[in-house]
Chains A and B, each alone.
Chain A
Amino acid sequence: MKAMNIDGIDKPENEKYVLSLKNISYKYEKTTKNVLKNVSADFETGKIYSVIGKSGSGKSTLLSLIAGLDVCTEGQILYRNEDLKILDRDEYRAKKIGVIFQAFNLLTNANAIENIVLSMQISGNETRDKTGCAYGLLQKMGIDKETASRKILKLSGGEQQRVGIARAVSNDPDIIIADEPTGNLDTETESDVLKILTSLAHESGKCVIIVTHSKKVSSIADCVLTMKDGGLAAGK
């Protein structure tokens, strides 16, 4: 499969791509079937990409590979022209990419502030007033101080998702990936979350990649990538 950018025009590899997938394939351990087959794509900063497709088409697997949570069996994933297989993936996850999980994946025995402060500490963020910074971020996501001090399990799904987004952006990463970010949310909250994601891409210049089934979510994307039978095709 030929590499393509979101405009559908072939471009030479250069530094404007924050992330490039080069013929990546993936199969799970002890299986023979490839979940992903020769997938190639380039991603730029300041844009929103949505990855759609049927269940089991490999969307979440692709997201895991981009997030550095797993390694492709063939091909390369380049972050600013550096292969993820060579990069320190812990460092990459801590500093270069923010992940918003469908299941939130927050530390449930800590409060919202502690989740964000810990993420900043792990990434080596040198901000002195990390707690103040975390409050600021949560405020932007519509979480007040009182809510921010509550244990995660005492928050609603929408609030948890906002905390997840705040954590994902807390280290000012280049790439933000979101797996079904609105899957568990009501319509009103879904709109709020989409506004935040749009703002992150178009105002803060992040590369936002969203895996979704939702047409509403896809509608805000600058580029829609469709997963089918382990392959990737560009739309919009």
Chain B
Amino acid sequence: MYILTNAIKNLTRNTGRNVLAAAVIFAVIAAAVAALIIYNTAGGVIADYKTRFGSQVVISVDIDKYVGSNPPRGGQSAMALPQVTAAQSISFADSNYIREYTMRVSKDVTGDDLKAIDEGSGGVFPMGGNTLGDFMLTNNFDDFESGMRYIKDGGPIMNSGECLISEEFADLNGLKTGDKIELFGSMSNAEDGTKRTATYSLTVAGIFYDFTDEYPGMRMPLSNKRNEILVSTETLTSSMLEGESGLAVSAVFYLKDPQMLADFEAEIRGKGLSDYMAVRTDEAGYNRIVAPVEGLMGFTLTFLIIILALGAAIIALLCSIAIRERKYEIGVLRAMGMKKKRVALGLWAELIMISCLCLCFGIAAGTLAAEPIGNTLLAEQTKAAQTPDVPRGPINLNNPRGTEADAIPPLEQLDIRVGTPVIMQIIGMTVCLVSFAGFVSIGKITKYEPIKILSERN
């Protein structure tokens, strides 16, 4: 106990020397705290992105593989690209590896007794020997969630065979809730290519106001948002026979764990996914967002190591000088009968107490400095990571809207987090640092016999 009380007294007895040591320790701690906070925050950001984008599965045509196996002949490109059918998407979603999935299904249809908005303005476009219909049946209700559409009359779809139509479409055709409409769409047999017309008999369950952009694409009836007829997935797939294709499907799967990708791919290959389709996570999007953060993380780690190494060296040197100055004091204590380990413990306790004081101020200063420093460094990394070239990758036919990562801009600001683990790391690091420095300097001095120290002074 007296060792501690004596150590506390010594803090005030050697003010000048201790202030100098404290200044250096404070600088090292503040720099290390800032680096560690940035490093941990960047690590957290990466882990978060990894979970989000690393788990989003993209199924797309491996264009290199496909072109390699189906070279263009006679000046014509073999454009009948493989695709994932609605039935396949549904079966893929039925997997233990999947956390959640979204599936957008649509089908272009015509209606004998129905007029389309913009009818005649764009005509019908032949595509693959077919003509496109005037209306789009879809199960995409995103615009209702975003508030761009809301039901004016009637209610939401409750049963298979019900639909929602826009107010403009209803007015044009004199439709009201409860009315029945008939639509026709072309289906083809995947094996022999024979075509069949599927009939959709629908009841108008509701009419909605539509504030969406009327022409997100070309000005033609099919791409006019007011001509969209919203139905359930069940309604869309119920008219399709086994082995038929004709529905446009866009499915996004989210794995429970990014590590499950290989197992999930093996499973869906077994369920009939074409060899020309690539199964991958959104690596490009992930890299685009995470690369600057990884760069920042690498930079801060290097900085942290340098700071700790330099800090340890400087503190050890400073301690050595301080201990040399106190050689006489140590000699007196040893001559008075104080054991070497107690002398060392006292000196170490002084160093730890100074460090504890510096820790309080260092953590505060480091935390304040971490955010502006981190953001400046991140901006530099983002600038360095930006490349004008877009690398050629697989074509994502099944998710034309792009991945979640595509919609997110690169990180511009770090959300600095200082939790208990970071503080514990800093405390541990500081104790190790000063203990190492203390061990080097104190160990050196305590190996001398007291008579030697005192005789040198005398």
Contact = CB atoms under 8 A, between A and B. Distances in A.
B337 A93 contact: yes
Contacts, number: 62
Contacts of A90: 334, 337-340
Contacts of A110: 9, 13
B337 A92 contact: yes
A69 B458 contact: no
Given A90-B337, A94-B337, A123-B337, A105 B454 contact: yes
Nearest to B5: A121
A99 interface: yes
Contacts of A122: 2, 333, 336-338, 342
Interface string B311-328: 000000000000000001
A107 B13 CA distance: 11
A2 B454 CA distance: 33
Interface in A60-89: 64, 67, 69-70
Interface in B416-458: 449-451, 454, 457-458
A93 B335 contact: yes
Contacts of B331: 105
Contacts of A167: 336
B6 A118 contact: yes
A95 B333 CA distance: 14
B294 interface: no
A69 B449 contact: yes
A64 B451 contact: yes
Given A118-B2, A121-B2, A103 B457 contact: yes
Contacts of B14: 109
Interface string A116-158: 0011011100000000000000000000000000000000000
Interface in B9-34: 9-10, 13-14
Interface in B337-384: 337-340, 342
Indicate the member of A67, A102, A106, A122 with the most B CB atoms within 10 Å: A122
A229 interface: no
Indicate the member of B339, B340, B342 with the most A CB atoms within 10 Å: B339
Nearest to B334: A90
Nearest to A117: B2
Contact of A94 (B329, B332, B336): B336
A106 B6 CA distance: 15
Contacts of A92: 337
Chain A interface category by residue count? 20 to 34
A101 interface: yes
Contacts of B449: 69-70
B454 A94 contact: no
A103 B328 CA distance: 12
A95 to B, nearest CB: 7
A7 interface: no
B27 to A, nearest CB: 26
A114 interface: yes
A114 B457 CA distance: 22
Nearest to B450: A69
A227 to B, nearest CB: 18
B451 A119 contact: no
A69 B454 CA distance: 10
A72 B454 CA distance: 18
A125 to B, nearest CB: 11
A104 B349 CA distance: 27
A95 B342 CA distance: 16
A103 B454 CA distance: 9
Nearest to B10: A109
A211 to B, nearest CB: 13
A86 B442 CA distance: 26
A203 interface: no
Nearest to B1: A121
Contact of B336 (A70, A93, A103): A93
Nearest to B342: A122
Contacts of A107: 329, 332-333
Contacts of B340: 90
Interface string A181-199: 0000000000000000000
Nearest to B332: A105
B458 A103 contact: yes
A66 to B, nearest CB: 12
A108 B13 CA distance: 10
A179 to B, nearest CB: 9
A232 B55 CA distance: 91
Given A69-B449, A107-B329, A109-B329, A99 B2 contact: no
A103 B458 CA distance: 7
A36 to B, nearest CB: 14
Contacts of B451: 64, 69-70
Contacts of B2: 118, 121-122
Contacts of A101: 335, 454
A98 to B, nearest CB: 10
A157 B331 CA distance: 20
B305 to A, nearest CB: 37
Contacts of B333: 107, 118, 122
A95 B14 CA distance: 29
A99 B331 CA distance: 13
Nearest to A91: B337
A95 B338 CA distance: 11
25 contacts: A69-B335, A69-B449, A69-B450, A69-B451, A70-B449, A90-B334, A90-B338, A90-B339, A91-B337, A93-B337, A94-B336, A94-B338, A102-B458, A105-B331, A105-B332, A107-B332, A107-B333, A108-B329, A110-B9, A118-B2, A118-B6, A118-B336, A122-B336, A122-B337, A123-B337
* 6 interchain residue pairs of minimum CB distance: A94-B337, A93-B337, A121-B2, A69-B451, A109-B13, A122-B338
Given A90-B338, A93-B337, A103-B457, 5 more contacts: A90-B334, A95-B337, A105-B332, A110-B9, A121-B2
